[in-house]
Amino acid sequence: MCKAVAFVTYKEWSAYRTHSLVSVFVGPVYFMVQYFICTAIYGGNITLGGLEFEQTVRYFGASALIGYLTMDFADWNLQMLVRTGKFLTFTLRPMHHRFFALSQKIGHRVLGFFLEFLPCLFIFALLFKVEIIPRYMGWTVLSVALAFLMNFYVNYCLGMTAFYFVQANGIRVVYQLLGSIFSGALIPLSFFPEVIQRIMMFLPFQYTNYIPAMVWTGNNSIGEMGMTIPQAVLYQGIAVIFTALLSEVIYRSSIKRFTAVGA
């Protein structure tokens, strides 16, 4: 069932393949700017925020690639379904909507893998000569997979806010705003003061990008706390389980509310 949904989504989005090609241009351009910034600021320093020059460059490359593998619109999509009342049709199907959405995401990201991830990977590795292949392949795959789920469950929870608030869109925008600062896509969290890094352990942002990107770069002492890779992945796993449970709790009460209101 998952395969069927994923495949349909894949076909559906194939129509927009020129949209994905935008990433192949945009990704490398941003990376280039980040590369030159790194070259400039590492002038006299050996390490910054605990990272060496090569590591930081690799971090930015990994961070972009992870984005292509894990992004989704589950939040926007679910909010739209609820607001327009189309969600009703899903309550009538013998399939949990969350499972349906996850299958959709898989299809969508398989497409992203071919049209965004692979081309950019080759550009980073061959054109920019970055050592982009992860040192610990197993841990990296695991960590990216967890980030994939993390992003999905968080966005799904955000999507469900539409059951409760009319202006749910604002919540999404605020999350995105915070995410753009604290996910690590702007700058590695290890550049932030220690206090903030500690607080971030308890918030979802870093588990979607910063942690997997650090694991990808092969850094075995992550941030001020000096987490090892297995430790970081363990925390990530806990965060995923917690968010998944949270999404289930919210889902149950949402459905109750949805059916009670009668939509």
CB of 28 to other proteins, least distance (A): 9
DSSP secondary structure letters along 119-176: HHHHIIIIIS----S-SSHHHHHHHHHHHHHHHHHHHHHHHHGGGT-TTHHHHHHHHH
Number of residues lying near other proteins (CB under 8 A)? 29
Q: Whole-angstrom Cα distance, residue 65 to residue 42?
A: 23
Identify which of residues 1 and 32 has a Cβ nearer to other proteins in the complex.
Answer: 32
Residues 184-223 close enough to bind other proteins by CB under 8 A: 186-187, 191-193
Residue 64's CB is within 10 A of a number of other CB atoms, namely 24
Which of 8, 127, 177, 199 lies at the binding interface for other proteins (CB under 8 A)?
A: 177
Contact between residue 64 and residue 120 where contact means Cβ atoms under 8 Å apart: yes
Among 1, 99, 137, 170, the residue binding other proteins under the rule CB under 8 A is 170
* 136 belongs to the binding site for other proteins (CB under 8 A): no
Site string for other proteins, 7-46 (x = CB under 8 A): -----------xx--x--xx--xx--x--xx-xxxxx-x-
Alpha carbons 256 and 163: distance in angstroms, whole number: 10
Minimum distance of other proteins from residue 40's CB (angstroms): 4
Closer of 60 and 87 to other proteins (Cβ): 60
Helix (H) or strand (E) holding 233: helix 229-261
d(CA 237, CA 109) in angstroms, rounded, equals 21
CB 116 within 8 A of CB 27: yes
Nearer to other proteins, 225 or 234 (CB): 225
Per-residue binder mask for other proteins (CB under 8 A), 41-80, x = binder: xxx-x--xx-------------------------------
φ, ψ of residue 203 in degrees (nearest 5): -115, 155
Nearer to other proteins, 176 or 231 (CB): 176
Q: Which member of 80, 110, 181, 250 binds other proteins (CB under 8 A)?
A: 181
Would you say 208 and 72 are in contact if contact means Cβ atoms under 8 Å apart? Answer: no
- How long is the chain? 263
Angle (CA) 28-128-54 rounded to 5° is 105
Q: Is residue 114 a contact residue for other proteins (CB under 8 A)? A: no
The residue among 170 and 226 lying less far from other proteins, judged by its C-beta, is 170
- Write out the residues near other proteins by the rule CB under 8 A: 18-19, 22, 25-26, 29-30, 33, 36-37, 39-43, 45, 48-49, 170, 173, 176-177, 180-181, 186-187, 191-193
